[in-house]
Every structure is written in C-alpha cells, then in structure tokens.
Amino acid sequence: MTTADARLRVRYAETDQMGVVYYANYLIWMEVGRANYCREAGIRYRDMEIEGGILLAVAEVNCRYKSPARYDDEVVVRTWIAEANPRMVRFSYEMTECSSGRVLVTGETKHIFCGRDLKPRKLPEKYRPAFGISPAQS
C-alpha cells in the first residue's frame, strides 16, 4: 500500500473560539492530502481536471476526531487509496501532530469520477495507474 504524506501548519483562520481547529477544516486538509497523493503518483489533479475533463465528485465523507489540532501545530496528512475502480475511488487519511505523533483525525472520502457536467464518467485509461487501477479493468 502506497501512502503519501503532506505537511501543513495550522492557520489562525482554521481555529474557532473553542481554541482548536474547527471541525470542517479537516476536510480541507483531506483535500490537501489527496492532491498530494495524486502528485506523488505522477498526476496533477489540476491537469486531470483541465486537460482530461475529469472531476472527482465527492459522494461520502466519514471522519473520526481523536484529538484536537491547535494553532501553529505542524500536521502530517497521510493519504492512501483504500479502494478504486474506473468508476470511483476511496481515499483514507490519518492526520497526526508532528512533534508528538498524536493522532488527530482518521477518515475516508469516496469520490465518483465525473465529466465537466458532473455526470459519472469512466476514468480514462491513462489516469488509471496513478490510482492503482488496472488499465484493462472495465
């Protein structure tokens, strides 16, 4: 199983009055994680969208909050593919605070490959290896 690690630092904007990171922001970090995964797997998500006309429409998110991140923490977002076929991909994530190794959040997102019209569309063969999908799979 291939994993990709993205590193980020918590922004003041991402905190709320509880003094910790607001819960929706971890979904933004998941996006940072999977863009980084794609980049390390050899494709830029931007190019796939602009040149390939392929978008990843999100279908499902699950997120478990273990421990809160705080302002200025350095966070690692570890991302890997849990499942993929020419119609969909499911990413898994584990986020940890760097200095302590404390797990912050674990979660998954499921995405449907779509065209620009947001209608489902099979992933073109040239993008399949990056997602660990056999080009011949139907």
Judged by CB under 8 A, the residue of 5, 31, 78, 102 near its own copies is 31
Is 47 known to be catalytic?
Answer: no
Distance CA 123, CA 115 (A): 9
Q: Which of residues 94-133 bind its own copies (CB under 8 A)?
A: 118
Beta strand pairing call for 88-97 and 103-114 = antiparallel
Distance CA 116, CA 51 (A): 11
Judged by CB under 8 A, the residue of 52, 68, 115, 132 near its own copies is 68
Of residues 28 and 125, the one with the C-beta less far from its own copies: 28
98 to 79, 85, 115: CA distances (angstroms): 15, 33, 37
DSSP classification of residue 27: H
Residues with catalytic function: 16
**Where do contacts with its own copies occur on this chain (CB under 8 A)?**
11-13, 15-20, 22-25, 27-28, 31-32, 35, 44-46, 55, 57-65, 68, 71-72, 118
